[in-house]
Amino acid sequence: MERAGLRLRHNHGKADFEIWDGLDWRGIAAFVGLDRDVVLEVDWSAWIWWLHTEVSMGITIGITVGIAMGIAMGIAMGATYEG
């Protein structure tokens, strides 16, 4: 399973090395140069999806909080005006 779009991949497709959880030492050894057939891949779509999710949640929360504050202020102003 890929995490955050980073993984070490063997050029010949013989082995995939996960580098996020558990730190596969074979992958780290290969990455630092013990095996020249291993490359670091970055899956940009994973990063873009994460950014999209963060922005979407921020907008959703902002709108929800804005509506709630508007209702609360309306009630407070109405109570002040009536009182």
pLDDT digits (tens, 9 = 90+) for 8-34: 555 454 444 444 444 555 566 656 655
pLDDT digits (tens, 9 = 90+) for 44-62: 677 777 788 888 888 888 8
Q: Check residue 33 and report its DSSP letter.
A: I
* Contact by Cβ (8 Å): 10, 19: no
* Contact by Cβ (8 Å): 41, 9: yes
Q: What does the buried/exposed string (b/e) look like for 47-71 if buried means 16 or more CB atoms within 10 Å of the residue's CB? A: eeeeeeeeeeeeeeeeeeeeeeeee
Predicted structure pTM score: 0.36
Q: Where are the domains of the chain?
A: 6-42, 50-83
